[in-house]
Amino acid sequence: MPSLEGFSFVAIRFGFQYPKMRLRNYWERLLFNQVHDDIDSTSAEAVYQDVAIDLIKRME
């Protein structure tokens, strides 16, 4: 995500519009999946798979 923001900033220099709302939505979706149990690796493997699938779907 930080790289995406950086590239977006550079794109502004070439006349592209900064995708503020899109980036905000991406950050919200990413952080939504960062619940306590997932961060400290106490969830079951199936949970991590579900989180990965959800992130991919939400980013499309």
**pTM, two decimal places:** 0.48
Alpha carbons 4 and 20: distance in angstroms, whole number = 11
Distance CA 45, CA 60 (A): 23
Work out the angle between the directed axes of helices 2-13 and 20-32 (0-180°, nearest 10). Answer: 180
Within 13 Å of residue 53, how many CA atoms lie on the same side as its CB? 6
Q: Is the pLDDT of residue 42 over 80?
A: no
Q: Are 23 and 8 in contact (CB under 8 A)?
A: yes
pLDDT at 12 over 80: yes
